[in-house]
Chain A
């Protein structure tokens, strides 16, 4: 236990160093506006991919509706900030709660499904959420919700991301996380061993949905405007690709996946069609040559190189 705390402490120190370096770069304006925005976007995408990894990677429940929960968080946060003038932290927490409640309500019936059926059902539910939002005039309907204050800065995005990472890391290393992994490996065996599979599946889904809501809230307060078309199932595919690329069941992998893909798409932003074709080819090549993703289900701390330094960087 003590060793674990030490590792956590080290991870926090390393993260703070990273933060200070990046913040210094930002405040001295060494990066142009485009990359300043992309650094925030990377943090948001890391939250999304890690929370999706909890559902898809650790619990093995193939969800394709993540963008729907992100939309719920984004709109909740935006309404609270614009119409009720709430402080940002209240918006964030309410986004989490709303998205988690709706995630739980959706999870209860759908978690009875498995495999392809679950994938397509969550995809459908994500789309239903988006279409319903599109038809609510209170939040701007199809035209989008405008005039959201720009509360998200790098510090907010980074520390919320850090909190989510630690939360999910501790969750998957707890007895809850072991139950999730047991369900992923063999649901029937897990049930036979006394794991309440429905409970853990719905719980993972709820937490994942909640954090997607938080990411949505950050997203809404970055861009002034949110639009239902930002939350289609294509966005869900995007986060899924990050998770799969990094490795299902690896937090390090999700960080790497979100970082690499956000950077690649920023670099290729001048050639939108080529960008997606390259994306697609990367995805197919990955499935051919490394279907378990870059990290598989291994964390960076358990890599042999880092084993030599006791503890190492736990991210």
Chain B
């Protein structure tokens, strides 16, 4: 296999990994866009989503699609509950208090989950037959096609909701200027709640897809992807939905290339190095607009 073929193969792996980052990053960026909070608990919401999917498939013996939908709905509700009980009481508190609460929620989800499901990783059942398709020199497997297809479908639905429905319009309005939106008769609390719901549902889908792709889930699986999805959101321009999607895919590709050509141990370092470079040279992200600081 030549270096070019290897490059293309890593590109395919990168796109499927990147789709997962993109799904998580969308939730991050939506929440950040609307209440300016780095929701550290988002990665753990994704972990809970993976576990719900796991239990639907193993205990209830559901096929994969109903399990995915059930996991999205339940996790969406969990996201709304977290917002209602942990973040809403602090709406007018300093940003740092909310950030620390988010860290607290993250720990709480991780270790409460660990208490109930034990820290041991679990093997996600293989729900798809292992079929690989050869396109010339490179290989695409079933799981990768499924991840990519589901990501595209969910992104299309999200775009429809945000651009063409009343809730979506309200979301954009609240994210642009919360107070003015409230003056126009929008119930900001409800919209924020819906945003958390949608974001968490997307994260849950990512969780189930990761379970299918890597066959293994554990209660701390959300920490790293959560952080990397945040990197992806910053890379694309935080608060911008297409930015999060693009950032996720780009990050996935870079990671796949780094682990393919340099060393897989430097994978995580690459993500953070990108983050720091973006923050230093274009803090508004690839698709973001520059804003000036006012006194």
Contacts and interface: CB of A to CB of B under 8 A. Distances in A.
Interface in B99-135: 99-101, 103-108, 110-112, 114-115, 119
Contacts of A117: 234, 279, 283
A149 B271 CA distance: 36
A276 B107 contact: yes
10 contacts: A62-B96, A123-B227, A124-B231, A124-B276, A125-B276, A135-B263, A273-B111, A273-B115, A275-B111, A288-B89
Contacts of B293: 188
Contacts of A195: none
Contacts of B234: 117, 120
B185 interface: no
A132 B283 CA distance: 25
Given A113-B283, A188-B295, A277 B111 contact: yes
B97 interface: yes
Interface of B: 36, 38, 86, 89-90, 93-101, 103-108, 110-112, 114-115, 119, 223, 227, 230-231, 234, 263, 265-266, 268-269, 271-273, 275-276, 279-280, 283, 293, 295
B contact face: mostly helix, strand, loop, or mixed: helix
Interface stretch (A155-163, A218-226, A278-286): A278-286
Contacts of B275: 120-121, 124
B107 A127 contact: no
Contact of A284 (B104, B114, B265, B276): B104
B10 to A, nearest CB: 20
B108 A284 contact: yes
Interface in A233-273: 233-234, 237, 240-241, 244, 273
Kindly list the 9 A-B residue pairs having the minimum CB-CB distance in the complex, ordered from nearest: A124-B272, A283-B104, A280-B108, A276-B111, A280-B107, A284-B104, A273-B115, A131-B269, A291-B97
Contacts, number: 119
A240 B269 contact: no
A249 B233 CA distance: 32
B279 A287 contact: no
A134 interface: yes
A256 B9 CA distance: 54
Nearest to A282: B104
A199 interface: no
A127 B269 contact: yes
Contacts of A116: 36, 38, 95, 99
A119 interface: yes
A3 B60 CA distance: 73
Given A117-B283, A188-B295, A273-B115, A287 B97 contact: yes
